[in-house]
A and B are shown apart, each in its own frame.
Chain A
């Protein structure tokens, strides 16, 4: 489904070699794309922010073929090759867009010498406290100093003294001495977060990053400044001093906060999550995510996790609970209350279960206020998944009043509820006492307390699966940490319930086996689509079949309800 965007390509020469690059990109991107492993080091340049050109690290030599001023004809060298007019000074790669015939030198003496110079300058007033700095291991300054630094200092003067622990906001701390004044954070708050709170005060070498008087960096995107800070100046109050980054395992995941489905990376060690950072996906979240989305992992270690399969409060095995659930469902008059938080694979199973026991599937909406950026009105990651898997064909409802009336009337015997606290949706505990309740969920709540059967479920960080976001982009997430001991992946347990309902023998299932069945069942999914082979940047589905539905999302970073067009997945890079 990936659509190749039509971009005009031009030929430039990088260090003497002809390469093809898209028109309109700058030299840093061109070298990254076509330079065969070469990189142009840079600090202030960020692909999603405006060009500042202030770090002076990305300097390259640039030349264009010379032309005769009078005739406009190319001037040739003696050997017939075009004569190149090299600029006498190095130019910054970030502000230089490629042009046909452009020549770039990324490793000439002049380039090396200017990069070394900038590195020396950045280090003279830098505290060089890498051993106690949280950024160590992912610090641009540290990396480039290894390559461009001289290894000793010619600076015998006193270093500048600046504030070491400035609280910029509830989640961000600033060490001004480490700051290299690249202005990435300033530009981010102005251009992306659209809340102008950061700026420099004082002049020259005394320039200091600070919040405007009476303001603080408190908006829901403040931690992105920590991500883009190339040095250890901005640190997260949540993560700082907790763990060295090189010990952490990185697992690609998807943010479950809203239907935006921001691509994330889970940083974990020995089964414990330490932080969540955004992963670049230009079709979804660029390189950003919300602060609130980063805090979601804390629920993993919550005390009220459901950790045992139980029947009437007694610990049982998953097989026993599944068998009991099958009995209840077979008795008829069942209702399945699915969840917009479940993965695509789980929703597929809930749909099948509902179908096999002729239960009416229901879904409850989780809406909130959107911020027009990366937090959409739909606070669930997989509403589109429920539509794609046919679990529902209309938008979910706000509560379960009709179900409550049916229970009152005695026409419902069993409620199979997933992740929803029914007591908050119109079904009081007294009402629930009239029926049998099978509850599947991650955390304990009033419903799990009264449920006859409890099937603990895994959180997004603990399992493999997929979500479909607001743009009908199928996105994959992987298990970063193991779930509570003894808890099986949801679809394994669901298979044990689903198969017997159709007089089948439960088969051991893998996620790709589920995908094989889904791909065969739903036309909207490509027939050969498998979880393992889903593109890193997501698989775009054609959502036109659902365009009649009044989705609640309003315009945000990558979504425009006015233009119901399919996003084109682009290769993700960093």
Chain B
């Protein structure tokens, strides 16, 4: 491996002998930041987090310090902190590692954050399928409580806070923050309309609420450790801190790799870090930020201007892995799930697979998503099943265009971006699919090839 990882969040994860109990964590300097945090002024921590420029690691990449600033503190209502551990974006598997292997880091980060925003109570909304993770967290919280890192009068600071772990029941939409709050309150996870239900003003139980991703909250601990200024030096301005890239797909060594933002390019990640593609294969496409981000075609040239005005002209391998660069090339870094596809990939099948997922996960509340996404699934399924039509590509794009930007929550975009980008970049394959099938049918053969689709 040519490149050395910059491990911050994953510093001890996978270290031989490192266990997830509190003693091991404290031997490695754990809870020192909390001890410092409770002696600081909460508003100083908030200011530090804002200075650090740490952006949300859940997908949208919104600056965490800014999110905290939006909190409605005038209402007099209690403030809640919710950790979004519903990691369900296909291609993403970083939060699970933190929870399983270093749960105290999350707990410390959460209590620091809760103290900073003066939360009355904190929740961890954990994905229902993470049963082991739930047990580990419950045990870790018990350990932390025994040592007075949470509970009443934390470390004699006069501040009290507790963490409640709440298990979801297995729905992607529970990762959407207002859907998560509904689910936390015990209702169907139907996302709320914004306005008026911005969590920072009207969140859990109609009280001001901050919802942050697991990795984001872990970062808060490191912001306190280094100070906001020093933290912001990692990476580039606007893209601070490290990112954990969860690489999956057709690479030799899939897995999670932590690097500072912009530290490496997509090419380095695939070829140097992950050992390249399987022998004899060519790179075809990459989905850089979880299945909902827009796909990048391997032979594309990406040109344009960055936020700072500098022009760029990149091939897919030159794209620096950070928030803004991936945004500039028309995709996003999302949750960090890098899905690599080589030239054996049938793009229609790949899209059919993604559509199946989103059609299954639509909550069904608002019309465009409820009706449009299953329609797209039916179209791609039909194409795979041997009934593809040449006009289907246009139809798919038109359906996706009617969904994006018209829905209650961002699920509409999440479901239509893959379709829009697959059609924009691989339309020829969709048309070719129909022609191939027509030709096979003419020869009296089965129109559909055998697929591995679920």
Contact = CB atoms under 8 A, between A and B. Distances in A.
Nearest to B389: A156
Nearest to B378: A157
B341 to A, nearest CB: 27
Contacts of B371: 121-122, 124-125, 205
B406 A118 contact: yes
A95 B195 contact: yes
3 closest Cβ contacts across the A-B interface? A117-B402, A121-B371, A207-B364
Nearest to B365: A54
Given A95-B193, A203-B362, A204-B361, A56 B368 contact: yes
A73 B382 CA distance: 56
Nearest to A114: B406
19 contacts: A51-B193, A53-B408, A54-B367, A55-B366, A56-B367, A114-B406, A117-B402, A121-B368, A121-B375, A122-B371, A124-B371, A125-B371, A155-B375, A181-B370, A203-B360, A203-B362, A204-B364, A205-B374, A207-B364
Contact of A121 (B188, B360, B372): B372
Contact of B364 (A52, A56, A122, A206): A206
B171 interface: yes
A180 interface: yes
A529 to B, nearest CB: 44
B364 A200 contact: yes
Given A120-B402, A155-B375, A205-B374, A56 B382 contact: no
A453 interface: no
B413 to A, nearest CB: 10
Given A154-B395, A200-B188, A90 B405 contact: yes
Identify which of B188, B360, B367, B374 gathers the most chain A CB atoms within 10 Å of its CB: B367
B379 interface: yes
Given A53-B193, A118-B368, A204-B359, A124 B375 contact: yes
A229 to B, nearest CB: 16
Nearest to B171: A203
Contact of A157 (B188, B375, B401): B375
Interface in B346-405: 359-368, 370-375, 378-379, 382, 395, 398, 401-403, 405
A92 interface: yes
Nearest to B370: A205
Interface string A295-328: 0000000000000000000000000000000000
Contact of A54 (B366, B375, B401, B403): B366
Contact of B362 (A56, A96, A200, A205): A205
Most buried by A among B359, B361, B366: B366
B407 interface: yes
A59 interface: yes
Interface string B140-171: 00000000000000000000000000000001
A215 interface: no
B196 interface: yes
B196 A95 contact: yes
Contacts of B361: 203-204
B77 to A, nearest CB: 20
Given A204-B361, A207-B370, 10 more contacts: A51-B193, A53-B366, A54-B408, A89-B405, A114-B406, A121-B368, A122-B367, A124-B371, A205-B364, A205-B373
A27 to B, nearest CB: 12
B406 A204 contact: no
Interface string B164-190: 000000010000000000000000100
Q: How large is the interface on A (under 10, 10 to 19, 20 to 34, 35 or more residues)?
A: 35 or more
A114 B364 contact: no
Contacts of A56: 366-368, 406-408
Contacts of A89: 405-406
Interface of A: 51-57, 59, 88-90, 92, 95-96, 113-114, 117-118, 120-122, 124-125, 154-155, 157-158, 180-181, 200, 202-207
Contacts of A125: 371
A429 to B, nearest CB: 62
Size bin of chain B's contact surface? 20 to 34
Interface centre among B362, B370, B382 (most CB of A within 10 A): B370
A118 B374 CA distance: 14
Contacts of A155: 375
A299 to B, nearest CB: 43
Contacts of A200: 188, 364
Contacts of B373: 204-205
A44 to B, nearest CB: 9
B405 A204 contact: no
Nearest to B364: A207
A418 to B, nearest CB: 54
A53 B196 CA distance: 11
Residue of A57, A181, A204 contacting most chain B CB atoms (<10 Å): A204
Contacts of B195: 95-96
A204 B362 CA distance: 5
A391 B102 CA distance: 85
A157 B379 contact: yes
A526 to B, nearest CB: 44
Contact of B360 (A95, A117, A122, A204): A204
B168 to A, nearest CB: 13
Contacts of A204: 359-364, 370, 373-374
A43 to B, nearest CB: 8
A194 to B, nearest CB: 18
Nearest to A96: B195
A114 B412 CA distance: 13
A122 B372 CA distance: 9
Nearest to A155: B375
A241 B381 CA distance: 39
A55 to B, nearest CB: 6
B193 A203 contact: no
A96 B401 CA distance: 23
B101 to A, nearest CB: 32
A438 B416 CA distance: 78
Nearest to B195: A95
A251 B363 CA distance: 43
Contacts of A57: 367
Contacts of A202: 364
A489 to B, nearest CB: 51
B242 to A, nearest CB: 32
Contact of A59 (B193, B378, B379, B406): B406
A203 B406 contact: no
A88 B368 CA distance: 18
Contacts of A118: 367-368, 402, 406
Contacts of B398: 154
A118 B193 CA distance: 17
A498 B363 CA distance: 69
Nearest to B401: A117
Contacts of B406: 56, 59, 89-90, 114, 117-118
Contacts of B171: 203
A81 B378 CA distance: 49
A540 B64 CA distance: 57
B194 to A, nearest CB: 9
Contacts of B378: 157-158
A51 B373 CA distance: 24
A121 B367 contact: yes
Highest count of chain B CB atoms <10 Å: which of A51, A113, A207: A207
Nearest to A57: B367
A124 B367 CA distance: 11
Contacts of B367: 54-57, 118, 121-122, 180-181
A204 B376 CA distance: 13
B372 A181 contact: no
B353 to A, nearest CB: 17
Interface string B261-289: 00000000000000000000000000000
Interface in B400-424: 401-403, 405-408
Given A53-B408, A200-B188, A205-B359, A117 B368 contact: yes
A156 to B, nearest CB: 8
Contacts of B362: 203-205
